[in-house]
Amino acid sequence: MKGKKAIGAALLSMTMGLSMFAAGVFGQAPETQDSYRILVHGPSAEKAKAKDQYGIRWDFGETGFTTTVNAPQYLALLKNKNLKVEPVSQVLLEAKPGSGAQAAPSDRTPWGMEAIYNDSNLQATSGGSGVKVAVLDTGVNVNHADLAGSDEQCKDFTNRRSPLVNGTCTDKNGHGTHVAGTVLADGGSGNGIYGVAPEADLWAYKVLNDQGSGYSDDIAAAIQHVADEAARTNSHVVLSMSLGSSSKSTMIADAVDYAYGKGVLVVAAAGNSGPNADTIGYPGALTNAVAVAALEDVQENGTYRVADFSSRGNPATDGDYLIQERDVEVSAPGRSIESTWYDGSYNTISGTSMATPHVSGLAAKIWAENPNMSHNQLRAELQNRAKANDIQGGSGATSGDDYASGFGFPRVK
């Protein structure tokens, strides 16, 4: 017992610095630690020996490889002076608790749809044909009446035994199905809800578990897979991530750069740690990701402001109309957003998680209408559309590029 206690104490001190990636709020508790996901890097020969001995989950080349070990194996690796070993961080969701599921939507075109279409009389949505939207989340109920037939890919990156399982993306949390619905729900059989771009194709990648947390290596591998699939299929792909961490993962940062280099537009949540400055999370804070802040409708009168919970960027960059690391780029509806739910029903929840798919859907809609655009041109178009739509001041929001709302609120028209 004494030996086990010593091992546990040693590992606890080494893993205290773990950051969390999840879909909801930063700081959700990780899974019980009966095993340890680690990144191993060092000289090629030493890495090769370690790969043979401990196995590989994901190989990131020069960055290293990840594997899962027990406590004695972890300590044995730490004693190898030729290798550097570090724990793999976890990521969390970017949403707040909902109001409770209901059998039918209270509004087939919720306020977020009316706002982003700039049409208070909106009856249905359209667009996105031919564009792929990769939703990296808790999975998606692809059999939901409003999403059925939209899924082109369905994959699970969270399985402990096999790092990638094709043909399954089961969502028992609800978050991923909610996000997917905001992008491309098609109204179902006439009684359902609408998303921004219902004609887009869904790539549903489960990277977070049913509790809403996931490992950064699984997320990085999924991002790279999206990029490779985009190249293989010669497709326009919008990658949507409503998840985040307060700290930067090198694996995820490298994967985002890789995807962006392949022509994928990456859209990510700014985080729910506002209203103070410099609270934006990763991967949204990366320069090659479009960070989305959350808006609320002031007294339901069509006047929008940044929600207090929405993370803020760097105030020192206000008004420069440039996107640097830790900058908010654009804003979209994120308070009290109604969408599809994992059990076939509907739910209303809040967060930058909910704002992100509004922008992902808008990007898909614009790209479908302008297929000759590059992802860089598409990003510029989102910024240009945002500039023309001022947001009410307060909590860091001004009429231009600011650390709370970014360039502003991009819309269909």
236 noted as active-site residue:
no
Active-site residue identified among 151, 156, 171, 175 = 175
Q: Where are the beta strands (DSSP E) in 7-142?
A: 36-41, 58-59, 65-69, 84-87, 90-93, 132-137
Burial of 152 (0-12, 13-18, 19+ CB in 10 A): middle
| Cα separation, 340 vs 323, whole angstroms | 32
Q: Which residue is catalytic, options 242, 249, 353, 405?
A: 353
Cβ atoms of 100 and 349 closer than 8 Å: no
Q: How far apart are CA 74 and CA 85, in angstroms?
A: 8
SS3 of 228, please?
Answer: helix
Catalytic residue among 19, 137, 171, 225: 137
Q: Rounded to whole angstroms, how far apart are CA atoms 185 and 354?
A: 14
DSSP string, 315-351: GGGTTS----TT---EEEE-SSEEEE-TTSSEEEEBS
DSSP 404: T
Of 110, 124, 26, 43, which is closest to residue 83 (Cα–Cα)? Answer: 43
Rounded to whole angstroms, the Cα distance separating 156 from 137 reads 10
Q: Which residues are registered as beta bridge partners of 339?
A: 347
Residues 6+ apart with CB under 8 A from 1: none
Q: Which residues pair with 284 in a beta bridge?
A: none
353 is annotated as an active-site residue: yes
34 catalytic, yes or no?
no
Active site residues: 137, 175, 353
